[in-house]
Amino acid sequence: MTNILIVFGTRPEAIKMAPLYHELQKSSCEVKVCVTAQHRQMLDQVLDFFAIVPDYDLDLMQANQSLNELSSRIIQKMDAVLMSEPFDWVLVHGDTTTSSMAALAAFHRGIKVGHVEAGLRTYNKQAPFPEEINRQITSRIADIHFTPTTQATKNLLNEGVSETYISETGNTVIDALFWTANKIQEAGYLHPEIEQLKKSIPTNKKIILVTGHRRESFGEGLQNLCAALLKISERDDVAIVYPVHLNPKVKHVIYELLFNKKNICVIPPVSYPAFVWLMQQSFLIVTDSGGIQEEAPSLGKPVLVTRTISERPEGVLAGFSTLVGTDLQKIIKNMEAILDDFTGFEEKRNPYGNGKASQQIVDFLLKEPK
């Protein structure tokens, strides 16, 4: 029997690994979950919704810890987990410090590493920081690369990775999105956050859903985004909903500039099912998130990406998203254009997957020798 350890630490990782965990549960593999709790509160919401009880909880979240402190603690704590039983594979996801350091710890112990959502690149080590380098470190370590798109596959091939060690599967976030959308639409399903949002979000306006948390946007970039939102909020036909990230460098700025302003609803972070519901209600999404860029096409929602470069170019090329950076006038101009003119996409197929990525990953692992 193949013994697999899934490791994740942030909310986005948990969302994208949840469907893979449940698919592995249905297989002949022995599967365990280790969480670093890089994001404690937001992580726990996802674990609860997807009914995942970690076998190992490293509980590494500390206020204001540096990346170096976090990295060293992940390697140290992971070592004990990796020595506790004979794992054949460690599966990590994406671009977090948890992913790269867990992969390194597994490599040091001679355990094979599978990288889910592999091959995304900007080739700019400062954007996104530190995620771009985390991905590249993990790619150098990984034994199998599960790529979400053809472009991600090409990136790895260009870097010298053999196609033998690449499996193009689509993105597991689409699996999670479909599962969640179906769940919250079930007859009799009630989610307290969604019920509360239904009472506070207007139904007669165009909803603009906003998120922002990346380090490269701190300071002037975040202030420009707020200024653009204040300008757009002068329109009577819009309602802006901004679930604010818990990072103090984000939270303090957003609340200072946008809280209690007309047509702007600043709210604490919401759970994943509540966020999926908000995406469904939205007319436009403004974000620097990678996962949202992947999810929105399946919901038919246009996205303005407040970054100058993205490791997810497929959505831009297909017309689902637009890079606007943090330039004040560019954000305003593109928001107004979508609010005034958008009637839907010609392209209907989501370039990031069809909801079967987890099944394809499990099928690959079952064929792979220990």
Q: CB of 122 within 8 A of CB of 128?
A: yes
Residues serving a catalytic function are: 95, 117, 131, 213, 215, 245
Can you read off the two tokens belonging to residue 131? 């995620």
Q: Using CA atoms, how far apart are residues 75 and 361, in angstroms rounded to an integer?
A: 26
Half-sphere exposure of residue 21, counting CA atoms within 13 Å on the CB side?
25
For residue 370, count other CB atoms closer than 10 A to its CB: 9
Q: Using CA atoms, how far apart are residues 5 and 80, in angstroms rounded to an integer?
A: 13
